[in-house]
Amino acid sequence: MRMTKHTFFLGTLLGALLAAGCAEQAVDTSGGGGTAGAGATGGSAGTAGTAGTAGTAGAGGSDAGSGGSSGEAGAAGEAGAAGEAGAAGEAGAAGEAGAGGEAGAAGEAGAAGEAGAAGSGSDEVYVGSISLSASKLVIQGLPEPIITNTASAGFSHSKVGAVSGSCETETFGDCTVSLCDVASEPPVPPEVINDSAGDLEITGGNFATLKLSPNDKKEYALIDPVTPTPPASWDKTFYDPGQELTVKATGADVPAFELKLTAPDAIKLDGLPKPVDPLDPTKKTPIDSSADYELTVVDGSGTVNVSVSLSSPARVGSAICKYTASKDAKLVIPKDALARLKQIENPTSGIMSASSLAQQSADAGKWKVTFSIPATIQDKDGGTPPFAQIELQ
């Protein structure tokens, strides 16, 4: 067990979406943590991430964040390292949307961007992200499933920003607990300068080619195929689990690059807290902080992030736990981590969420570029996982 003290600003954004009807997800999205520029990033004074997109490395960091319906902002760490954010560092916390289901699909809470690795000593960081997500929602009574696809990209560089507030961080097994005082005045965020990698083409999925291009402000948009106008829906998802997708950039400010990534399968978890009364969200589900909390992987494999976040007007806290999961594995949140988190007095909100994200990263000149696809988190029966406000006892 180790303890460090450092100072940084932590922004939190907790969220979740609920869907009506008997829904069956074929492919869902989760996660994206806070982002700097586009896609989500955990890191120096990170801002909240876009729903359903994956996060990029925080300022001073090198690792990318996980995806969310609303990612929580990453916080700055010591010596330029990106910090974990509340549901949004491993950010947000919803997620892993983060990644919330779209167009009426139930979403998981966004997870925060994962902590970035310590910086190389430069006062500028160069990052880029490309993120895909896809969901298919079958609703009883509707003749066709609702299919939603998202594609996002962004490249930028910025100086390491000012920090504010006071935090204490402690590690318990697979979990890192951060308790932070809420800053009376937020710091001035660093200036973020957009960069261009030229045109992006993504192949290998259910469309021959997905093309994203930058505008005159170097902001990316999906131009081929054109996004349907609601209430119209896509006729197919961008990809199916198991397909290998390739993204190629023609190059501009950011040199040309190529990344490959296999779309992940869904992961079924048993043990996420269930609401006491689904019709009354003010009733909180009690969690015993004097005992280890255990979740079970019913099916699937990959990296799973479980986040427990509490907030009050004066302090916020999060326990971010990262596991390499496989079928029948036990994901344990140590009681010591829960007891430490319980030091947040009179919390007004409490959330436990899970997320998973497949990622591939590479260096393109000075830019650390990450290609991300979120995995669906499901309950043990393959449905949308429960969402509940919790309280530690």
Question: Could you state, in chain order, the average pLDDT of each consecutive group of 10 residues for the chain (393 residues)?
Answer: 37 32 36 35 35 37 37 36 36 35 36 39 84 88 89 93 73 96 77 96 96 97 91 91 97 98 95 89 91 96 94 94 95 97 93 95 97 94 88 94
Distance CA 125, CA 117 (A): 12
Distance CA 61, CA 336 (A): 28
pLDDT for 203:
97
pLDDT for 148:
92
pLDDT for 164:
54
Question: Does residue 47 contact residue 166 with C-beta atoms inside 8 Å?
Answer: no
CA 250 to chain centre: 27
How many domains does one find in the chain? 1
> Taking the CB of residue 322, how many other CB atoms lie within 10 A of it?
20
> Taking the CB of residue 218, how many other CB atoms lie within 10 A of it?
19
* Residue 207 lies in domain: 3-392
Distance CA 166, CA 254 (A): 36
Helices (H), the chain: 335-341
* Rg of the chain, C-alpha, whole Å: 19
Distance CA 308, CA 350 (A): 7
Quote the DSSP letter at residue 107: B
pLDDT for 282:
80
pLDDT for 229:
87
- Helix (H) or strand (E) segment spanning residue 76: strand 75-76
Q: What angle do CA 349, 44, 118 make, to 5 degrees?
A: 115
3-class state of residue 335 by DSSP: helix
